[in-house]
Chain A
Amino acid sequence: MSASAKINQTQKLIDDVLSVYPEKTRIDREKHVKPNDPSDCSTCAVKSNVKSRPGVMTVRGCAYAGSKGVVWGPVKDMVHISHGPVGCGAYSNWSRRNYYNGETGVDAFGTMHFTSDFQERDIVYGGDKKLGTIIDEIDTLFPLARGVSIQSECPVGLIGDDIEQVAKAKTTEHGKPIVPVRCEGFRGVSQSLGHHIANDAIRDHVFEKAGTEIEMTPYDITIIGDYNIGGDAWSSRKILEAMGLRVIAQWTGDATLAELANAPKAKLNLIHCYRSMNYICRYMEDTWGIPWEEYNFFGPTKIYDSIRRIAAKFDETIQANAEALIAKMKPEMDAIIAEYKPLLEGKTVMLYVGGLRPRHVIGAYEDLGMEIIAAGYEFGHNDEYKRTYPLLAEGSVIMDDATPYELEQFTKALKPDLVGSGVKEKYAYHKMGVPFRQMHSWDYSGPYHGFDGFSVFARDMDMTVNSPVWGLIRKPGTASVAAAERVAS
């Protein structure tokens, strides 16, 4: 079967864009950038989760970012030590906006930066002794902290420190979980391995160790893989509670250690960010037979669908609640669509985000009449891409570990009306005059999840796509032309 014209056209564009690379890099990049074929075409799949090319600007981060930055950092009643030199903690501090309730520095620690601030002597003599001292000091200064995690930075694994031994001894001494996490930044190819390592650390050091007594009900569920960016998990929890379900643990946005430990008591694990937490869901399924279900609370279409799929796992009471909730919320959602769709209908979007959102937010954009014409993941694996192909139109651009150069070239060629990516990309788009939203941090807005999030999402996309400021941008030297046009009109 011959490829469609649309696919051929996109392939030609991709070839043009990649032609600038040295041969070895070009051949490598060709495997990561493809025209989308929504049918199940094994040769059309992009290669993913492999090393970035040295010297080619990548948007990716590291395993530490995946563990401390994503999975562990939001656990609010623990102190997370950035173990190693000062930088990693300085740059990641409170950059992900994992909202939480609690008194910072007293019973919650989310916005704080704890570092062992390695000096040369720690590299030479090892940091284990200092780590022991640090854990004692944390116990003295922060008595309400329920535990400590040790987030390893690169040198820890290179100098042969035995943080596991220190953690074990101090767990016994203080009677609180001290969790060693081997998330040194050089491990793996992106944040992704850090997620996995962090999941494993929860499995090994929290499960069956730090649980508390809770009375069980048939409606106990968890939220897994929602980091409460701008309050996402809270607006999601609102929906689940309205369905009559009881959320016994929220991972890890606004989470506590007890919530991590108690998750295996749930009847069903609900997972939002599949990429960062599928590992622990699979473990709970394999070990205790707890089923898990992916859901998507971006935009009403996906929210209704997810609500119904979740309800189907429970009894008629929950199913009736679900329908009642949808019936109650639909007019409100329709009103939002009625307000914003006329402003956004037909606008095209290019997305380049982490490991989940490029596929998860498609429905929300479509609810507003917008179309995704290119999408890519920083650190997705095969399973993300497989889930993405059917959601996108034939011939849209699929890119893995895209470089800023590729993003710029695709932007120039495809002329999207909106680009969604991260802070490192954002300001280049401002120079280019292309409307841009940060789709990691919600541009300091949010929530975007849930019914309450959709109105914020719609407002934000509209304000950026339709802001008058873009119209002021002009190329130097064109002022006289512009003046002549003004006179002519």
Chain B
Amino acid sequence: MPTNDHNTLFGQPEYVEQFERKKEFENGSSAEEVARVSEWTKTEEYRELNFAREGIVINPCKACQPLGAVLAALGFEKTLPFVQGSQGCTAYFRSHLSRHFKEPIATVSSSMTEDAAVFGGLSNMIEGLENANAMYKPEMIAVSTTCMAEVIGDDLSAYIKTAKDKGVVPDDMPIPFAHTPSFVGSHLTGYDMMMRGILTDLAGAKADSTDGTLNVIPGFDGYSGNLREIKHILGSMDVDYRILGDYSDVVDAPATGDYDMYPAGGTTLEDARQAIDAEGTIALQRWSSQKTGELISKEWGQEFVAGPYPIGVTATDELIGEITTLTGKPISDELELERGRAVDSMVDSHPYVHGKRVALVGDPDVLLGLIGFLLELGARPVHIVATNGEKKFKKAAEALLASSPFGADGTVWTKKDMWHLRSLMFTEPVDLLLGPSNAKFLWADTGTTFVRVGFPLFDRHHLHKRPIIGYRGAENLLTDIVNTVLDEMDRTSKNTASFDLIR
């Protein structure tokens, strides 16, 4: 017997009639009024009102700092993220990351309540560290904060010292910390602060000479596949490297019949301790590594390079160039071959992407990468929205757009959200939308062909395991874009002569 679930059930006449009957009690607006307002929200007039707002933020494309702090911590072996503050925040970080990665996320909270609001969170932290250490036996506990702990002014450094003095955790256990208030920056800032905190805590005394290695910081990257791809690139170039915060295996553990709350993988603490002696450090993302970069360049006295986040051929070329400069290792034959294949695919597919007007929403580094890739393909980025973008990002994105005639139509919008983007897409329509799952509502409203890219990816499975960086990532991204365009072409042409077998 076929089962009707919500996908088909509520379209049945008895439900359609029920919904009509319910309207008697809803005090809703008339269908005409709804249609009128609906059309009005698509107008220039509405766009002006929408862009005039100063207070309310609607459908922002960003999350808060401690989410990034948790992800950064997960990249280190047997490390337990510990969030000082209200416990609901931690429940949210865990479920948010689980919905994206389809993986369990182990993180604890100090479960602060009203009394902590009055007396401070010291006793919560002491009991919390004791319990977490006894039960979960981590090698490192990485402490970040929610806005509650920040507003009441919890002093993490002093609290951790007190906990160690009281002997509830071993004196030699690394307990790095980062203040990560949600009312500053975004998840990218939190990643940066926690990474800086961990590296600061673990780094030993700097040796007299470098050990010739290269540190690589992936950044807040929703793609475990990207972390694996950068390791592939570095391995192929025979670079002696270490990834700082390698969560690729932690958020992509195998099903073996056992649950391990610290899946095999993650940067070992020993490796992280030696990071200070490396020849240099590359952060793949500029906007999630600013504070960490200061630590590495100023305090460690190391060469520090931020980006480019290698989406597309040109950005990958540039990144590989940076790696070569730092290590003296040239591009490998294998990578050259991958580059050739990616370019070959781009040549094959360009007719379906060339000239397409594109709207983009996401994190700054992802956007810079996507802009570059679209320009390479002859597509035209039009609306670029970064809720968590800063002035420097805007400048960088504008410079990138200016570097190509295909960038002439592009406008970069920082501190804007997806409700702004809705107005932009209604008043200046585009052919294609690139963004995370949350952008699907723009697809629904405007009917614009949509390719999911970025973070979070909630409503499609396993996309995060395929890289979008490097030459192979460029090929993946190209495949997604061109085939989505072709799917849409089939849908619109299915009852016409244009329904081609061969494209």
A residues near B (Cβ < 8 Å) are 20-22, 24-25, 51-65, 77, 81, 84-88, 90-93, 95, 99, 101-107, 111-120, 122-123, 130-131, 133-134, 136-138, 140-141, 143-144, 146, 153-155, 157-159, 185-189, 191, 212, 214, 230-231, 234-235, 237-238, 241, 247-250, 254, 256-259, 262, 335-336, 339, 404-405, 408, 422-433, 445-447, 452, 455-456, 458-459, 473-476
Q: From A405, which residue of chain B is reached at the shortest CB distance?
A: B135
- The answer to whether B195 has its CB under 8 Å from any CB of chain A is no
* Given A62-B88, A185-B148, residue A146 in contact with residue B27 (CB < 8 A): yes
Q: How far is the CA of A230 from the CA of B253 in the complex (A)?
A: 30
Q: Please pick, from B34, B57, B66, B152, the residue contacting A103 in the complex, using a CB distance under 8 A.
A: B34
Question: Restricting to B33-66, which residues have a CB under 8 Å from any CB of A?
Answer: 33-34, 37-38, 41, 46, 49-50, 53-60, 62-66
Chain B proximity of A99: nearest CB distance (Å): 7
| Residue among B38, B131, B254, B257 making CB contact with A54, cutoff 8 Å | B131
B147 engages A119 (CB within 8 Å): no
Establish whether residues B91 and A61, one from each chain, have CB atoms under 8 Å apart when the complex forms.
yes
Since A61-B91, A115-B56, A141-B49 are in contact, a sample of 18 more A-B pairs with Cβ atoms closer than 8 Å, ordered by chain A residue number, is A55-B129, A56-B108, A56-B135, A57-B136, A60-B88, A77-B26, A84-B182, A90-B62, A91-B63, A103-B34, A117-B57, A130-B55, A137-B53, A186-B117, A214-B25, A336-B1, A459-B3, A475-B257
Q: List, sorted by A's number, 13 A–B pairs whose CB atoms are closer than 8 Å.
A: A59-B91, A64-B88, A90-B63, A103-B34, A104-B441, A106-B34, A123-B151, A141-B50, A154-B147, A186-B86, A186-B114, A187-B114, A262-B25
Which of B15-23, B213-221, B333-341, B405-413 lies at the interface? B15-23
Kindly provide the distance from the CB of A234 to the nearest chain B CB, expressed in whole angstroms: 6
Enumerate the 3 nearest inter-chain pairs by beta-carbon distance, A residue then B residue, closest first: A62-B88, A87-B64, A55-B128
Is A258 in contact with B50, judged by CB distance below 8 angstroms?
no
Contact B183 A186 (CB under 8 A): no
Query: Chain A residues with Cβ under 8 A from B86's Cβ?
Result: 62, 154, 185-186
A63 to B89, CA, bound (A): 11
Q: Tally of A-B residue pairs with Cβ under 8 A? A: 338
Contact present for B104 and A86 (CB under 8 Å): no
Given contacts A119-B184, A424-B104, A432-B258, contact A113 B151 (CB under 8 A): no
Q: Is residue B71 contacting chain A, with contact meaning CB distance below 8 A?
A: no
| Given A103-B38, A137-B55, A431-B256, residue A258 in contact with residue B25 (CB < 8 A) | yes
Given A62-B89, A262-B25, A20:B182 Cβ within 8 A:
no
Which residues in chain B, 85-118, are within 8 Å of chain A measured between CB atoms? 85-89, 91-96, 98-99, 102-114, 116-117
Given A186-B117, A452-B9, A144 contacting B37 (CB threshold 8 A) = yes
Interface 1/0s, chain B 341-384, versus A by CB < 8 A?
A: 00000000000000000000000000000000000000000000
Query: Looking at A62, A102, A258, A339, which has the most chain B CB atoms within 10 Å of its CB?
Result: A62
> With a CB–CB cut-off of 8 A, which chain A residues contact B65?
87
- For residue B459, give the distance in angstroms from its CB to the closest CB of chain A: 9
- Contact: B255 with A118, CB < 8 Å? no
B267 at the interface (CB under 8 A from A): no
Contact of A137 among B56, B95, B96, B441 (CB under 8 A): B56
Q: Give complex CA distance A230, B5 in Å.
A: 9
Chain B hits for A185, CB < 8 A? 86, 88-89, 148
Asked if A54 and B18 sit within 8 Å, CB to CB, the answer is no
User: By CB atoms of chain B within 10 A, which of A55, A120, A133, A186 has the most?
Assistant: A55
Distance of A247 Cα from B91 Cα, bound (Å): 35
Q: Please measure, in the bound complex, the distance between the C-alpha atom of A191 and the C-alpha atom of B91, giving whole angstroms.
A: 11
Cα of A234 to Cα of B10 in the assembled complex, Å? 8
Q: Would A122 and B257 count as touching, CB distance under 8 A?
A: no
Residues of A within 8 A of B148 (CB): 154-155, 158, 185-186
A426: chain B residues at CB < 8 Å are 98, 104
Query: Do B130 and A22 have beta carbons less than 8 Å apart?
Result: yes
Does B56 contact A138, Cβ atoms closer than 8 Å?
yes
Known: A54-B127, A86-B63, A214-B24. A456 touches B3 (CB 8 A): yes
Chain B: CB-nearest residue to A186? B86
Do the beta carbons of A424 and B98 come within 8 Å of each other? yes
Decide if B144 is an interface residue (CB 8 Å cutoff): no
Output the least CB separation between A476 and chain B (Å).
6
B55–A133 CB distance below 8 A: yes
Contact of A114 with B57 in the complex, beta carbons under 8 Å: yes
* CB-CB nearest in chain B for A23: B134
Task: Report the Cα distance A303→B103, complex, angstroms.
Answer: 36
A106 near B41 (CB under 8 angstroms)? yes
The answer to whether B6 and A445 have CB atoms under 8 Å apart is yes
A-contacting residues, B214-262, CB 8 Å: 253-261
B72 within 8 A of A: no
Contact assessment for A188 and B113 in the assembled complex, using a CB-CB cutoff below 8 Å:
yes
A363-B66 Cα distance, complex, nearest whole Å: 41
Q: Is the CB of B259 within 8 A of A432?
A: yes
Q: What is the CA–CA distance of A257 and B28 in the complex, to the nearest angstrom? A: 10
Alpha-carbon gap, A476 to B255, bound state (A):
10
Q: Given contacts A90-B60, A107-B34, is CB(A446)–CB(B6) below 8 Å? A: yes
Who on chain A is nearest to B66 by CB?
A87
Residue of A64, A107, A153 near B37 (CB, 8 A) is A107
Chain B: how many interface residues by the 8 Å CB criterion? 106
* B7 CB → nearest A CB, Å: 9
A339 interface neighbour in B1, B33, B55, B438, Cβ under 8 Å: B1
**In the complex, A112 Cα to B67 Cα: how many Å?**
21
B18 with A431: CB separation less than 8 A: no
**CB < 8 Å: which of B107, B125, B133, B257 contacts A433?**
B257
B111 touches A85 (CB 8 A): no
In the bound complex, what is the Cα–Cα distance between A352 and B67 (angstroms)?
Answer: 25
Q: Given the interface contacts A64-B88, A86-B64, A103-B38, does A474 sit within 8 Å of B1 by beta carbon?
A: no
Which residues of B, 125-173, contact A by the 8 Å Cβ criterion? 125, 127-136, 146-148, 151-152
B-side contacts of A143, CB under 8 Å: 37
Residue of chain A at shortest CB distance from B251 = A427
A446 surroundings in chain B (CB, below 8 A): 5-6
Q: What's the Cα separation between A459 and B106 when bound, in Å?
A: 31
Q: Is the CB of A85 within 8 A of B147?
A: yes
**What chain B residues lie within 8 Å of A458 (beta carbons)?**
3
A464 to chain B, nearest CB (A): 14
B103's nearest neighbour on chain A, judged by CB, is A427
List the B side residues contacting A262 at CB < 8 Å. 25
If the complex has contacts A107-B37, A185-B88, A446-B5, are A52 and B111 also in contact, measured as CB distance less than 8 A? yes
Please determine whether B113 and A187 come into contact, CB atoms closer than 8 angstroms: yes
Cβ–Cβ < 8 Å partners of B55 in chain A: 116, 130-131, 133-134, 136-137
- Chain B: minimal CB distance from A139 (Å): 11
Q: Does B14 contact A (CB under 8 A)?
A: yes
Q: Which residues of A contact B182 (CB under 8 A)?
A: 84-87, 118
Contact across chains for B26 and A114 when beta carbons are under 8 A apart: no
Contacts of A103 in B (CB 8 A): 34, 38
By the criterion CB–CB under 8 Å, are B99 and A105 in contact? no
Instruction: Answer whether A84 and B147 are a contact pair too, CB < 8 Å, given A62-B89, A130-B55, A186-B112.
Output: yes
**Quick one: which of B9, B25, B109 contacts A249, CB cutoff 8 A?**
B25
Chain B residues lying within 8 Å of A85, measured Cβ to Cβ, are: 64, 147, 181-183
A335 touches B1 (CB 8 A): yes
Nearest B-chain residue to A248, judged by Cβ? B25
A445 contact set on B, CB distance < 8 A: 5-6
Whether the Cβ atoms of A54 and B124 lie closer than 8 Å is yes
Q: Which of B9, B21, B55, B146 has the most CB of A within 10 A?
A: B55
Question: Contacts of A130 on B, CB cut-off 8 Å?
Answer: 55
Q: Does B209 contact A (CB under 8 A)?
A: no
In the complex where A55-B130, A423-B99 touch, is A81 in contact with B56 (Cβ < 8 A)?
Answer: yes
* Complex Cα spacing A247 to B108, Å: 43
A455 CA to B1 CA in the complex, in Å?
9
CB–CB B127/A423 < 8 A: no
Which residues of the partner chain B approach A141 to less than 8 Å between Cβ atoms? 46, 49-50, 53, 56
